[in-house]
C-alpha cells in the first residue's frame, strides 16, 4: 500500500489554504487599522484635555508649544501626526486638532481624525462615506 499524498490531494489542500488566506488577510488588515486608530484618538483627546486646562487658566486656547507638546507632535508609535488650528481671526476662542495618519496607517479608510473645542469628533458617525457605522470614533 503506497504511503503519502497524491498530487491532487496536495493541490486541493493548497487551494483550501489559499482561500482561507484570501479571507483572513483583509480582515486582519482592517483590524490592524482599527487598533492603530486608537493611537490617533488618544493623541487628539490628550491635546483636547490640555487645551481645556490651558483655557481654564488663561481664558484662551493655546498653541501646541504652549501646551507642552514638542513639534512635530506624533502618536506613541508614530502612526499619526497632529496639527492644531486656532480660532479664525486670531481670536483663540476655538480650536480644531487633527491627527493625520502616516506610514502604514495612511491607507485607513477613516483618513484624518479631528476633534474641536466643542468635543465634536470628525469624521462624524453620520458620515457614512468615511465612517461606516460610526466605526472611526
Q: What is the per-residue pLDDT for 90?
A: 64
Instruction: Give me the residue label for grid cell 458617525.
Output: 125
Phi, psi dihedrals of residue 52, rounded to the nearest 5°: -65, -40
Q: Per residue in 79-127, pLDDT tens? A: 999 999 998 766 778 999 999 999 889 888 888 999 999 999 988 655 5
Classify the phi-psi angles of 33: left when phi > 0, otherwise alpha if psi is within -120 to 50, otherwise beta: alpha
Q: What is the mean pLDDT of residues 63-73?
A: 90
Q: How many CB atoms lie within 10 A of CB 72?
A: 11
Range from 17-26, 60-69, 118-127, 128-137 that averages highest in pLDDT = 60-69
- What distance in Å separates the CA atoms of residue 102 and residue 100, rounded to the nearest whole number? 6
Higher confidence at residue 26 or residue 2? 26
- Give the alpha-carbon dihedral of 8, 13, 19, 25, to 10 degrees: -140
Spell out the domain ranges in the chain: 7-134
Contact 84, 95 (CB under 8 A): yes
Phi, psi dihedrals of residue 36, rounded to the nearest 5°: -70, -25
Q: What is the per-residue pLDDT for 65?
A: 92
Q: What is the per-residue pLDDT for 26?
A: 79
- What distance in Å separates the CA atoms of residue 40 and residue 113, rounded to the nearest whole number? 7
Q: Mean pLDDT for the chain?
A: 86
Amino acid at each position: 500500500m503506497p504511503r503519502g499524498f497524491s498530487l491532487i490531494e496536495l493541490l486541493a489542500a493548497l487551494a483550501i489554504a489559499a482561500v482561507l488566506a484570501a479571507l483572513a488577510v483583509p480582515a486582519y488588515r482592517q483590524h490592524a487599522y482599527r487598533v492603530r486608530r486608537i493611537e490617533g484618538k488618544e493623541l487628539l483627546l490628550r491635546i483636547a484635555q490640555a487645551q481645556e486646562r490651558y483655557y481654564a487658566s488663561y481664558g484662551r486656547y493655546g498653541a501646541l508649544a504652549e501646551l507642552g507638546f514638542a513639534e512635530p507632535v506624533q502618536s506613541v508609535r508614530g502612526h499619526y501626526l497632529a496639527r492644531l488650528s486656532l480660532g479664525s481671526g486670531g481670536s483663540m476662542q476655538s480650536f480644531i486638532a487633527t491627527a493625520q495618519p502616516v506610514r502604514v496607517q495612511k491607507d485607513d479608510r477613516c483618513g484624518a481624525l479631528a476633534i474641536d473645542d466643542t468635543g465634536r469628533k470628525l469624521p462624524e458617525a453620520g458620515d457614512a462615506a468615511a465612517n461606516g457605522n460610526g466605526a472611526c470614533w
